[in-house]
Amino acid sequence: MNMYKFIVVVFVASVFTCCNDFLEEPPSKTSSVVPETVEDLESLLNNYNFFAAEPSQEQVFGTDDYGLFTELYDSRPGLFHIFQLQYATWERKDVANGKIAYWESEWKKIFTANLVLFYLPRVSGSEDRKQQLKAEARFIRVYSYFQLANVYCLPYTEANWEEPGLPIKETTGFEEPVARATLKETWDFIDANLTEALTLTTSLEEVNNKKRTWRASQAAVYAFAARYYLVLYDYARAQQYAEKALGIYNRLRNYNTEMRYSDIVYEVTIFDPDTTTIRLKYPYTHSFVAGTAPTDLLEWGEFYYLRYSDDISDNFPSRELLALYDHTYDLRYKYHIVEHYSYHRGFIDPPYSYPGYVFFDFSKIPNGPSVPEMILTKAECQIRQGAWQEGIQTLNELREARMNADAPAGVKYLSAASQQEAVVKLTEERRREMPFVTRWFDVRRYNNNDDPSDDVVMTRTFYPYNASTILDHESPVHYTLEKHSRKFACPIPNADIMASNGVLKQNEY
């Protein structure tokens, strides 16, 4: 099947060099090297660009964080593509006929992890280091399985356990079954791999004064475990692992002193009807471009494990998301919400001004386990378990680093009069801190926990369309993703189903 039939061996050009060399020069690929030593496998796992990128259009376009509305489209119809609308309106039929980049990219990472596990007994090197690489490969595999399960399968609930999960691939051999296991079998496989990944003791050490976040570490596995148990509604263990990760590393960037606008001048000319030049303000992180300067992303300093959404430049925040920020005092709004971003995307004649969300480059938003995520996870676990006052205090540790130091105390710090109000404050803060990339996972779990107060029914109003054309001459229609819709399992590629001779089954809607 296509998801597993790609190059049998992928190695970076630095296969016989150390990590320091990797940091100094972006890697390139070759398929001509067979691993003979532990160092060869180390270099394979150093392929920073390969592991970090997550081209998940399903997550970015598929939630209420993304702004899709007719006025934006009317101003520049050519910018909007059918596939974009299909994800944004939860169409689940025609999208399966196209290329589904996220499905493919995560299976390649799983294959690479299995490749390392295959060669470990066959290469020279110390047994201690082999055991660490084994745990790291398990982590890579469990991470991608977790991501895939949360996009292409129905949410984790006992009622869904017999629903389709994922194919279980433990080797590089094509003889393994490609049929989808049940959802329960998939999550049992994830759990078993996490148990082995938790044996990793590698530190979040510095190389060339950069945290080694392009590779797995004990802190990264702890942080992932916190994310995993949050999805399983095991708040006690999620809090335990969040605190373990924070106990190893807890640095937050203070946006008051460590954030600034880019020194690069960005200007765009609009016509209204006179010619006017507008200067756009981007955060300085906008110039962090993966592949050309890999150390830049590592300098951010809040990651445990580097992952980011990729290849999606139209990060237009919804009006609902924009309204959650304090536009005067929230420094996340100041630096990441770029006013007039639509001008940079060509909305200039006639001009239509609308902001965009920018973090790294045009299209990269952090998605890997991070210090702010662990603070939010700890806070949520405290609130869900009844210690909501302590949870609010934990949230305010994050806000201390994100809100303007001059903000009035009543604006800077959150407060709540009840557990239910604290839940609302928590869910809003998660959206402000991690828009686009975690909202899909959050909505899935909110709609299936035992608290109906945080349920989310997502809706949009937009033009009708078919497989090839947006019918913008017709009246807009309403699109809805109900809380228990089967559409929460995104379709897998029909091409892979055909390649498996029908053994691999599509999701049913």
Task: Write the pLDDT tens digit of every residue in 208-266.
Answer: 777 889 999 999 999 999 999 999 999 999 999 999 999 999 999 999 999 999 988 89
Q: Quick check: is 407 in a domain?
A: no
| Secondary structure of residue 178 in the 3-state scheme | coil
What is the SS3 string spanning 288-328?
A: CCCCCCHHHHHHCCCECCCCEECCCCCCCECHHHHHHCCCC
Q: Quick check: is 273 in a domain?
A: no
| Secondary structure of residue 166 in the 3-state scheme | coil
Burial of 413 (0-12, 13-18, 19+ CB in 10 A): middle
Beta bridge partners of 481: 458
Q: Which domain holds residue 41?
A: 1-252+287-317+361-383+433-509
Closest alpha carbon to 95 in 495, 498, 389: 495
CA dist list (Å): 240 to 28, 212, 451, 463? 39, 23, 22, 47
Q: Quick check: is 130 in a domain?
A: yes
| Secondary structure of residue 164 in the 3-state scheme | strand
∠ CA(280), CA(281), CA(282), 5° rounding? 115
> For residue 382, is it left (φ>0), alpha (ψ between -120 and 50) or beta?
alpha
pLDDT of residue 279: 95
* Residue spans of alpha helices (H) in 366-436: 371-384, 388-402, 409-412, 419-433
Q: Quick check: is 79 in a domain?
A: yes
Domain count for the chain, please give it. Answer: 1
Beta bridge partners of 276: 270
Q: Quick check: is 349 in a domain?
A: no
CA max distance for the chain: 71
∠ CA(135), CA(116), CA(506), 5° rounding? 90
CA dist list (Å): 228 to 256, 441, 442, 474, 482? 32, 11, 12, 44, 24
The DSSP secondary-structure symbol of 179 reads S
Would you state the structure tokens that stand for residue 387, as one six-digit string?
């210690």
| Secondary structure of residue 373 in the 3-state scheme | helix
pLDDT of residue 362: 84
pLDDT of residue 5: 44
Backbone angles phi, psi at 270, to 5 degrees: -115, 165
CATH, residue 124: 1.25.40.390
How many Cβ atoms sit within 10 Å of the Cβ of residue 330?
22
Would you state the structure tokens that stand for residue 460, as one six-digit string?
């949009």
Q: Quick check: is 139 in a domain?
A: yes
pLDDT of residue 19: 32
Beta bridge partners of 330: 403
CA distance 111 to 119: 12
Residues of the chain with confidence (pLDDT) below 50? 1-31, 290-291, 293-294
pLDDT of residue 105: 96
Beta bridge partners of 267: 279
Q: Quick check: is 411 in a domain?
A: no
pLDDT of residue 22: 28
Question: In this structure, which amino acid lies at residue 354?
Answer: Y
User: Cβ(180)–Cβ(165) under 8 Å?
Assistant: yes
CA dist list (Å): 375 to 141, 350, 394? 25, 44, 7
CA distance 222 to 122: 29
Q: Quick check: is 34 in a domain?
A: yes
CA distance 471 to 256: 46
pLDDT of residue 343: 96
pLDDT of residue 49: 84
User: Cβ(38)–Cβ(130) under 8 Å?
Assistant: yes
